[in-house]
Amino acid sequence: MSEFFAVYGSLINFAGLNALLALSLYVPLSAGQLSLGNAAFAGIGAYVSAILTMRLNAPFPLAIAAGAFTAACVAVVIGAPVLRIRGIFLAMATLAFGEVVRIAAVNLAITGGAEGLIGIPSKTTMLIIYGTLGVAAYFLTILRGSRIGWSFASIREDETAAMVMGINTTLYKNSAFILGAFIAGIAGGLYAHLNFIITPGEFGFAAEVQLLIYNIVGGARSVWGPILGAFILTAIPEVLRGVDITAGPPRLFVNGLILLLVILYLPNGLSSFFKRAKGSSE
């Protein structure tokens, strides 16, 4: 057993963090808002918490919380104007925001420029990652069945109709966006204190797309979908190594193929597959 953890420990850690990041995107998606800024929020959480622990010797939990709160505060400021736009335009506005954050991290002195921050103390453990993931998943499951969760769902299905029904769509859209940013901020902080090193490039466009892929492959219709998607896609390189596919291009190809097949044949993701097997209707 301990041998298993020695070999696959870091894989399990990253799977948990990716799942947490996937959940951070799930929240705005559940309210119908396609945000591509969550990797940038994770970046904000990562940088703020790493700077706090490295420069000010702040206690680890405080640093993580500060990072998450900073990400949420940025989301408050950016969300108010941005969430007035819908659909693809919102995706692009959040994408532009992500690029601005990345470029800022490259150019500021305190973030270490393009080389990033090196020598972040290693504080994150597997227990912390999975504990946080469990709490987040539990909280989001409760939220889903609450009045707020139903409001999110009604906005996702038809925003105009939801507004007519008297739902304060602006408030709920912003809440979803901010909550997503908060979770992303936590995940980013944990990532920084696991990985020893963070660079601006890790929180760019490719990372945004990766989060979206987790949600699509797993299915963004339930809390378990994004987690499942993140686990499967994080584990796939290892599985492929088992069948002797180690080179980059075939691995990339398999990822693309999975995404294509899921979007064409399982529009609600892999988790809907299990639901179908159980015989319950969508």
Partner 1 sequence: MSVFIQQLINGFFIGSVYGLFAIGYTLVFGVLDILNLAHAAIFTLGGLSALWLTRTTGLPVWASFCLATLFSGLLGLVLYRVAFAPLRRRADSNLSGLISSIAMAIIFEAGAFEIFGARTVRFPQGMFAVRVYHFDSLTFTSLQLEIVAIALGLMVVLSLCLKHSRTGKAMRAVAESETTARLLGIPVERIISETFFVSSALGGAAGILFGLYFNALGPDMGRSIELKGLAVIILGGMGSIPGAILGGIAFGMSEVLTVALTGMSSLRDAVAFSVLLLILILKPSGLLGRGRIRQA
Distance of alpha carbon 77 from alpha carbon 61, whole angstroms: 25
Neighbour count for residue 107 (Cβ, 10 Å): 11
Interface residue with partner 1, options 7, 96, 142, 164 (CB under 8 A) = 96
| Binding flags for partner 1, 197-226, as an x/- string (CB under 8 A) | --------xx--x--xx--x----------
Interface residue with partner 1, options 42, 52, 82, 187 (CB under 8 A) = 82
CA 214 to chain CA centroid, nearest Å: 9
Is 196 among the residues that bind partner 1 (CB under 8 A)?
A: no
Contacts 24+ apart (CB under 8 A), 118-122: 118/196, 118/197, 119/54, 119/196, 119/197, 120/50, 120/53, 120/54, 120/192, 120/193, 120/195, 120/196, 120/197, 120/198, 121/53, 121/54, 121/60, 121/193, 122/193, 122/194, 122/196
Residue 118 vs 257, nearer CB to partner 1: 257
Distance of alpha carbon 229 from alpha carbon 243, whole angstroms: 21
CA 161 to chain CA centroid, nearest Å: 28
Sole window of 14-22, 92-100, 168-176, 177-185 interacting with partner 1 (rule: CB under 8 A) = 92-100
Interface residue with partner 1, options 100, 118, 135, 165 (CB under 8 A) = 100
| Binding flags for partner 1, 101-120, as an x/- string (CB under 8 A) | --xx-xx-----xx------
Interface residue with partner 1, options 243, 264, 278, 282 (CB under 8 A) = 264
Interface residue with partner 1, options 163, 259, 266, 274 (CB under 8 A) = 259
Residue 45 vs 79, nearer CB to partner 1: 79
Distance of alpha carbon 35 from alpha carbon 42, whole angstroms: 13
Is 76 among the residues that bind partner 1 (CB under 8 A)?
A: no
First-last CA distance in the chain: 39
Name the site residues for partner 1 (rule: CB under 8 A): 34, 81-82, 84-89, 91-93, 95-97, 99-100, 103-104, 106-107, 113-114, 205-206, 209, 212-213, 216, 248-253, 255-257, 259-260, 263-264, 267
